[in-house]
C-alpha cells in the first residue's frame, strides 16, 4: 500500500519527489508538537522527587523507588508501543497519528492524576496512588511519544526534507526544555515559601502546562502527513534479541555511553537542585541573591537558569570546536568545566556570598554545552557504522534503544537521589493549618549527602563519558570511506573490492564495528 500524499507542492530543483516535499507550515506544526517531549522531561526531573517528599510527604527513599519502578515500566512499554504503532491499520490517518491525538488529549488527565493533592491520604495509600499515577502518566506519554518519534523518519522519504523538519523539532525541543526547567523552578519556590497555595500550582500544571503540551500534539496529529509507504499486510513482532542487536556495534555503544552519562548527569543535578538551594543555599532561611541591580530569593532557579542559559551560549563554541576538530572533541571539551563547577557547588559554605551559586552553575552550563548537543549529531554517524556492519540501516531500532537506556538511567539516577537523602535521614516538611508544607532544618548528614550527590555523581559520570568520547573513533574522513564501501558493496558485492580496498574495509569494520 502506498499512502503517500500526491497533493504536495512542487518539488525543489533537486532529486526530491513532489510528494515528499514538506510545506513550511507543516514543519512548524510538527516541530511544535515536541513541546511535550522537550518540556515534560525537564519539568518532571526538576520537581517530581521534591513533590513526593515535600508536598505529599513520602519518605525520600520510598519516593525514589516509586520513580524507579514507574520508569522501568516506561522502558518496557516503549518497545511494545512501537510495534503496536507499526502494526496499526485501523485509521485513514495512518499508523502514527491516531496515537498522537489520543495520547496528546490524555496528557492533562495524566498530569492531574500524577500531581493530585493527596496530602491527607494515609502513608500506604499515598505510595500506592503514586505508583499507579506515575504508571498511568508514563503510559500516556509512551502512547503519544513513541509514534511521534517515529514520524521523524515517516514524515518524508527525502532525507533533506526530513532533516529540515527535524531541525524545527530540535528548535522547539530546546525552547521547551529551557521554559520548563525555569518556570516550574520559579513557581515551586513560591509554593515552598507559602506564597502560592499548592492548589494554585496544581491548576497551573493541569490547565497550563497540560494544554501547552497537549494542543500542539493533537493539532499535529490531524495536520501533518505520514508520507513513508508501508505494506498493509506486513505485521511485525517484538523480538528482544533483534531489538538489542545494535549493541553489538562498538561505536554505537561508546556513543550510547556518552549520551546516557551526559543527560543522566543533568537529570540528577536537576533533581538535587531544589534540595540544594533549600538547605545549603539557604532558601529555608530566606536568603536572597544580590545581582547588584536586583535581589532575588534563593531557589532552584538559581542553579537551573544560569546552567541552561550558559549551556545555550556554549553550544556556539561547541560547534566551532566541532568544525575545527571533531564531534567527540566538542563533546568532551567542556566536561572539566562542568566537573569544576559541580565541585565548587559542593564546597559552597553558608557564609560565602550567595551570588556564587549561580556563578558556579554558569560554569557547569558552559561545560555541558557540547555534551548536550553533540550526541544528537553523532547518532546519525553511528547509524552509518551499523549499516557497514549489518548491510542495512537500523535507525528506528537504534533510536529506540537510546530512549530505552535513557529511561532506565533516569529511573536509577532519580531513585538514587531519593535513596541517598533518605538514608541520610531527610526530614520531611510539616503541614501547617492551611495545608502548606513547612520546610524543616536538615541534619548535617543530609547536607553532606546533597553535596556528595553533586560532586561525586557529576565527576564519576562525566569522567566515564569523557573516556567514551576518546574510545569513539568515527571521523568525517572515515564516514566518507564508509559511504564509499557501502555503496560499492550494495552495487557489486564485496568481491568487487581491490586487495587494498578489502584490507581498508576490514580494518574499518574491526575498528568501528
Please tell me which residue, 234 or 161, carries the higher pLDDT value. 161
Q: Which of 459, 439, 422, 185 is nearest to 347 (CA)?
A: 459
The more confidently predicted of residues 71 and 364 is 364
User: Rounded to a whole number, what is the largest CA-CA distance in the chain?
Assistant: 83
Per-residue pLDDT band for 14 (boundaries 50, 70, 90) equals very low
pLDDT band at 5 (very low <50, low <70, confident <90, very high): very low
Tens of pLDDT, residue by residue over 444-496, are 999 999 999 999 999 999 999 999 999 999 988 888 888 889 888 988 888 88
Q: For 354-411, how does the pLDDT look when each residue is reduced to its tens digit (9 = 90+)?
A: 999 999 999 998 888 888 778 877 877 887 888 899 888 776 677 767 777 877 787 7
More confident residue, 279 or 181: 279
Of residues 476 and 241, more confidence is placed in 476
For the residues of 353-401, what is the DSSP string, one character each? -TTHHHHHHHHHHHHHHHHHHHHHHHHHHHHHHHHHHHSS--HHHHHHH
Within 8 A by CB and 6+ apart from 437, the residues are 54, 55, 57, 191, 192, 198, 429, 430, 431
What pLDDT, on the 0 to 100 scale, is given for residue 238?
60
- pLDDT value for 159: 59
Closest CA to 103 of 67, 71, 149: 149
pLDDT band with cut points at 50, 70 and 90 for residue 235: low
In whole angstroms, what is the distance from residue 446 CA to residue 385 CA? 46
DSSP E strands in 173-274: the ranges are none
pLDDT at 233 over 80: no
- Over residues 256-275, the pLDDT tens digits come to 999 999 988 988 888 888 88
Each residue of 389-406: b (16+ CB within 10 Å) or e?
beeeebbebbbbbbbbbb
Give helix then strand counts, H and E, for the chain. Answer: 18, 4
Sequence-ordered list of residues with C-beta below 8 angstroms from that of 407, at least 6 positions apart, any chain: 71, 74, 75, 78
Q: Where are the beta strands (DSSP E) in 291-364?
A: 295-297
Mean local confidence (pLDDT), 200-209: 93
Instruction: Please report the pLDDT score of residue 12 as a whole number.
Output: 38
pLDDT tens column, 245-257: 888 999 999 999 9
Q: Please tell me the least confidently modeled range out of 69-78, 236-245, 486-495.
A: 236-245
Which grid coordinates are listed for 268? 540528577
Cα(192)–Cα(188) distance, integer angstroms: 6
Whether 56 contacts 128, CB under 8 Å:
no
The more confident residue out of 31 and 297 is 31
Least confident among 143-157, 188-202, 496-510: 143-157
Percent of the chain's residues with pLDDT above 90: 29
Helix (H) or strand (E) segment spanning residue 433:
none
Computed from CA positions of residues 196, 201, 203, 204, in that sequence, does the dihedral angle turn out positive or negative? Answer: positive
Using 50, 70 and 90 to split pLDDT, how confident is the model at 320? confident
- Cα–Cα distance measured from residue 413 to residue 341, given in angstroms and rounded to the nearest whole number: 20
Task: Output the CA torsion 67→73→76→77 (10° steps).
Answer: -120
Query: Three cell numbers at 27?
Result: 514543519
**Distance (Å, rounded) from C-alpha 258 to C-alpha 274?**
26
Residues 408, 71: contact at Cβ < 8 Å? yes
* Residue showing cell 499535529: 220
Note the pLDDT of residue 150.
75
Q: In which band, very low, low, confident or very high, does the pLDDT at 170 lie, cut at 50, 70 and 90? A: confident
CB within 8 Å of 290: residues ≥ 6 apart? 353, 354, 355
- How confident is residue 7, by pLDDT bands cut at 50, 70 and 90? very low
**How far apart, in Å, do the first and last CA atoms of the chain sit?**
35
Q: Do the beta carbons of residue 504 and residue 494 sit within 8 Å?
A: no
Of 426, 480, 478, 479, whose CA–CA distance to 450 is shortest? 426
8-state DSSP, 450: H
What digits encode the pLDDT tens for the residues 98-110?
999 999 999 999 9
Q: How many CB atoms lie within 10 A of CB 330?
A: 26
The answer to whether 96 touches 153, Cβ cutoff 8 Å, is no
What pLDDT, on the 0 to 100 scale, is given for residue 8? 37
Mean pLDDT, range 221-248, rounded to an integer: 75
Number of other CB atoms surrounding residue 280 within 10 Å = 23
Cα separation, 115 vs 110, in Å, equals: 9
Model pLDDT, residue 340: 94
* β-bridge partners, 438: 430
For the chain, domains (ranges, CATH) are: 22-227 (1.20.1250.20), 245-474 (1.20.1250.20)
Following DSSP, what letter does each residue of 449-488 receive, concatenated? HHHHHHHHHHHHHHHHHHHHHHH----HHHHHHHHHHHHH
Q: 434 pLDDT band (50/70/90 cuts)?
A: low
- The angle, 0 to 180 degrees and rounded to 10, between the axes of the packed helices 35-50 and 250-279 is 50
Sort residue 301 into left (φ over 0), alpha (ψ -120 to 50) or beta.
alpha
Summarize pLDDT for 115-148 with one digit per residue, the tens.
Answer: 999 988 888 899 899 989 989 998 998 888 888 8
Report which DSSP code applies to 249: -
pLDDT surpasses 70 at 220: yes
Amino acid at each position: 500500500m502506498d499512502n503517500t500524499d500526491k497533493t504536495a507542492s512542487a518539488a525543489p530543483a533537486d532529486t526530491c519527489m513532489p510528494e515528499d516535499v514538506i510545506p513550511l507550515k507543516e514543519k512548524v506544526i510538527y516541530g511544535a508538537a515536541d513541546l511535550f517531549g522537550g518540556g515534560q522531561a525537564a519539568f518532571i526531573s526538576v520537581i517530581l522527587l521534591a513533590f513526593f517528599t515535600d508536598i505529599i510527604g513520602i519518605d525520600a527513599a520510598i519516593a525514589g523507588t516509586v520513580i524507579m519502578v514507574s520508569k522501568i515500566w516506561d522502558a518496557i512499554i516503549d518497545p511494545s508501543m512501537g510495534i503496536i504503532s507499526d502494526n496499526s491499520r485501523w485509521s485513514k490517518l495512518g499508523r502514527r497519528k491516531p496515537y498522537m491525538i489520543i495520547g496528546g488529549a490524555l496528557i492533562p488527565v495524566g498530569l492531574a492524576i500524577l500531581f493530585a493533592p493527596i496530602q491527607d491520604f494515609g502513608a500506604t495509600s499515598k505510595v500506592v496512588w503514586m505508583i499507579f499515577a506515575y504508571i498511568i502518566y508514563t503510559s500516556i506519554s509512551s502512547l503519544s511519544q513513541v509514534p511521534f518519534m517515529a514520524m521523524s523518519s515517516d514524515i518524508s522519504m527525502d532525507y533533506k526534507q526530513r532533516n529540515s523538519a527535524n531541525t524545527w523539532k530540535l528548535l522547539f525541543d530546546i525552547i521547551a526544555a529551557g521554559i520548563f526547567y525555569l518556570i516550574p523552578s520559579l513557581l515551586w519556590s513560591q509554593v515552598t515559601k507559602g506564597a502560592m497555595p499548592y492548589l494554585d500550582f496544581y491548576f497551573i500544571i493541569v490547565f497550563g502546562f497540560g494544554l501547552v503540551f497537549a494542543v500542539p500534539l493533537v493539532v499535529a496529529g490531524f495536520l501533518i502527513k505520514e508520507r513513508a509507504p508501508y505494506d498493509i499486510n506486513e505485521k511485525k513482532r517484538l523480538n528482544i534479541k533483534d531489538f538489542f542487536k545494535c549493541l553489538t556495534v562498538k561505536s554505537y555503544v561508546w556513543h550510547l555511553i556518552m549520551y546516557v552519562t551526559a543527560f543522566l548527569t543533568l537529570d540528577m543535578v536537576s533533581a538535587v537542585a531544589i534540595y540544594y538551594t533549600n538547605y545549603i543555599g539557604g532558601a529555608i532561611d530566606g536568603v536572597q541573591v544580590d545581582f547588584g541591580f536586583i535581589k532575588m530569593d534563593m531557589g532552584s532557579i538559581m542553579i537551573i537558569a544560569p546552567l541552561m542559559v550558559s549551556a545555550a551560549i556554549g553550544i556556539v563554541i561547541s560547534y566551532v570546536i566541532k568544525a575545527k576538530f571533531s564531534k567527540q572533541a566538542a563533546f568532551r571539551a567542556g566536561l572539566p568545566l562542568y566537573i569544576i563547577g559541580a565541585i565548587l557547588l559542593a564546597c559552597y559554605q553558608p557564609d560565602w556570598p550567595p551570588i556564587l551559586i549561580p556563578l558556579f552553575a554558569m560554569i557547569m552550563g558552559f561545560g555541558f554545552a557540547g555534551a548536550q548537543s553533540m550526541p544528537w549529531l553523532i547518532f546519525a554517524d553511528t547509524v552509518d557504522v551499523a549499516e557497514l556492519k549489518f548491510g542495512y540501516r537500523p535507525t528506528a531500532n537504534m533510536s529506540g534503544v537510546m530512549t530505552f537506556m535513557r529511561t532506565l538511567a533516569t529511573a536509577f539516577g532519580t531513585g538514587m537521589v531519593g535513596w541517598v537523602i533518605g538514608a541520610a535521614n531527610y526530614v520531611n516538611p510539616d503541614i501547617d493549618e492551611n495545608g502548606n508544607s513547612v520546610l524543616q532544618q536538615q541534619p548535617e548528614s543530609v547536607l553532606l549527602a546533597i553535596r556528595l550527590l553533586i560532586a561525586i555523581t557529576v565527576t564519576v559520570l562525566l569522567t566515564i563519558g569523557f573516556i567514551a568520547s576518546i574510545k569513539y573513533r568515527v571521523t568525517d574522513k572515515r564516514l566518507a570511506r564508509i559511504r564509499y564501501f557501502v555503496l560499492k558493496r550494495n552495487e557489486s558485492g564485496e568481491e568487487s573490492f581491490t586487495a587494498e580496498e578489502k584490507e581498508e574495509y576490514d580494518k574499518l569494520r574491526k575498528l568501528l564495528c
